Structure formats: C-alpha cells, structure tokens
Structure 1
C-alpha cells in the first residue's frame, strides 16, 4: 500500500525502494522511474533542502515518495534511512545506491581544476569517438537512460539474472 492507503499498480507495486544520492541526476531519474513503476521510494541526500525539493517535485507528479537526510558514511544516517523505509513496509525489498557519476575523480585524484579539465577533455574526445561508432542515432546519454534498467533489475522479471555487467552506453560494450 502506498502512504495514501491506495493500492499501487506496476511491476514494483507494494515494494519500497531506498535510493541514495537521489535528489539530482541519475539518482533522481532512478527514484522517479521506480515510483512510476509502483514502488514507494525513499529519496535521500546530505542536504535537507535537496530532499525537500525532490520529494515535493515527485509528489507533485503523483508519485509515492518520502525522503530523509542521509550521509551514507554515517551509521546513524543509514539507520534513519532504513527506519524511514520500514515506516512504509515490513521490510526493505531492494536497495539501490548511486555512489556518483565518477568516483575516480573525487576520491582517487582529489582533483585540482587542471586535472579535472584535462580528464573532462579526454572524456569528451572519447565520447565523441564512441558516438561515431554507435549504431544508434548519436546522442549523449541522459540520466533516464539508466532508470529503466534499474527498474527492470529490481522487478521479478529479472529474478533469474545474476552476475552480469550491463553497460548503459548506447553502443555495444563488453566489460
């Protein structure tokens, strides 16, 4: 049941999804799609204003969403996040974590602007080259391109899939 007491419909009906880092970008797109597919979604961010904005936006779209502040590096924040999910269900059915678009840049490099600019320039050149090899109409990927795959993998339709690497890249890619 959703928080409004109305039975949910969709491939993720009557499930609760906890999506960290879900107030912008890929995380927000995933949260939206999971809610559209019937899950009650708990969004989170390290800043209350971001949580409030995302919850208001998604609830404004008629989606079953709540949120809480959570810095996943803090045990008490993680506990609060799980408690929020448990308010809507006896258990948490699945957990989706969005650690960030490029953790290499933030954690390993601790990058100065020069390093970031150099890396970004290299990524742009590689992306442009890949687009010319792509059998699909060339375009830059959008956050929503990941959301459908995540929803599928969270559904019972993917119950016999295990140990796979799936690249959402717009071209054939083997990891």
Structure 2
C-alpha cells in the first residue's frame, strides 16, 4: 500500500512539475550531464532540455543511454547520448568530442556521476573503498572540469555545476567515505572559483538532501524507515529529483549570472549548518 501511494505521488509530482515549466532560459545552449540515464541526472537532463538546451546524456551502460535518449526524444527534446564511464580517459574524451560534433560546442557541464560501493564507519573502511570513491567522486570530477575547458572557454556564458550532497556538511555514519568525498567537492568548488572566473566560467554546487531515487530506496521502501527518515526533515518528506533539476536549470541560466563559488543545499529543511 505504501509503495503504491509513493508511486502515485511521484507520478503526480512529475506531471505537475512538467506542466508548470514555462521558462526558455537555456535556448541555444549545449549541456553535458554525466550519469544522466536515471534519477537526479535524468531529471536534470530533461529540465535543461525543456528549457531549450541541447543535452548530451551519458552513462556507463549503452542500453541505459539508448533508453534515456529515446525517452527524452519522444518528449520532443533535443538530446543525444554516449557511453561514458567517467573513470576512463578515452570515454571522457569521446564525450566531449561527440558533444562538439553533435551540437557544436559546450556551455554547461553538470558533473553528476558518483558512487558509494560500501557502507560502514570511516575507520573500518578498506583502502580500496577510499581509492574507488575518491577516484570517481572527486578526481574524475576534477578531470571532467579540466577537460571541458577548451570548449567552455568558447562559450559566451559557460557554467559548471557539481553535485555534492548534504552529507558533505553533515556526514552520514554508514556513508562515511562517501560523505568525506562530498566534502572534498565543496573544497574543489571553492578552490577553483577565482581561476575559473578569470576565464569567464561560473562554478556552483548543489547539495541534495534525501531525494527519492534508487540509491535511497532502502530509506523509504518500508513504512518504518520512511517515518524515521522524515523525522529529520522539516518538510516531513523526501525530495523529488525534479526539485534538484529546477535548481540546476537556474544555476545554468543567465538568471544566476552573478552567482559563482556557491553550493546550495536542497534538503527540505534538514539541519546541515549555521
């Protein structure tokens, strides 16, 4: 019963969100969104395209890319897609080359790819877990930023958006290494703000709280877990991927032309900082 109610609420929210979109702030712009075949990444890709951007989707699995591209094209959106494991240099290179070939350049980079292969306290974590999480979540985010510069520097209003997490401010005990990697992304944004500003490029972060995605499914698939999670959220509900997508579209647009070096928390009022 709970699962049915949740699915109905999700469908209703998505329908209302889609029907309320009236902005065309991203007309003529080109965007890349990594890990964009489901969840938050797919919602961001859809919203950017709904606002007029041409969007390159990417994911590690070809079948997922094909499915997502077909879905968004069926909605009349201008998208393309390619396989890209962000940890593989040749696939990152191909991502940028295909974007330029298909759409002529790049204005918006959304670095959304991230992993969490293990749970547990920080001091109980294996070195392999540290390496894997930091390689994908932090190092590859930096490499995507660096490798995007030749294209972004040709844009009239370039923007980079990094997906962090509320866990970067308030670590989750069982997601300790993941949380630390998300804190590192806050530092990456701050450390590169001035350098990118000198090149005319804005960089900002988004720190989602508890969002209803496959990754957080354990937190809401049982009524007991769902109620426990909601107790720490002022709005008493989990967020929806589209509620992250709307902020991404704003940050990528000229409405945010004087915002850089910031990370915005989207958490329904979950305690995170002063």
TM-score by length of 2: 0.51
Contact persistence 1:22–1:31 (CA under 8 A): yes
- Alignment correspondent of 1:74: 88
Give the structure 2 partner of residue 64 of structure 1.
78
2:36 match: 22
List gaps (5 residues or longer) in structure 2.
Answer: 1-22, 130-173, 176-217, 220-224
Aligned length: 154
RCO higher in structure (CA 8 A, sep ≥6):
1
Q: Does residue 48 in structure 1 map to residue 150 in structure 2?
A: no
Tell whether the 8 Å contact from 1:167 to 1:173 is kept in structure 2 after alignment. no
The whole-number CA distance in structure 2 between the counterparts of 1:104 and 1:71 is 15
1:85-121, Cα deviation, whole Å (9 max, x unpaired): 1124442111001123x64847x755xxxxxxx7667
- After TM superposition, what 4+ stretches of structure 1 lie above 3 angstroms from structure 2? 102-106, 118-121, 123-126, 172-175
Aligned to 2:267: 169
Counterparts of 2:247 and 2:25, CA distance in 1 = 13
Match of 2:68, SS state, is helix
Q: Per the alignment, do residues 52 and 105 of structure 1 end up closer, same or farther by CA in structure 2, a change over 3 Å counting?
A: same
- Equivalent residue of 2:258, what SS? coil
Structure 2 match to 1:97: 111
8 Å CA contact retained: 1:34, 1:41: yes
Quickly say closer, same or farther: Cα 1:173–1:165, change in 2 above 3 A: farther
Q: For the residues of structure 1 that align with 2:245 and 2:40, how far apart are their CA atoms?
A: 7
Gaps of 5+ in 1: 1-8, 111-117
Q: In structure 1, what is the Cα distance between the partners aligned to 2:229 and 2:27? A: 37
Partner residue in 2 for 1:87: 101
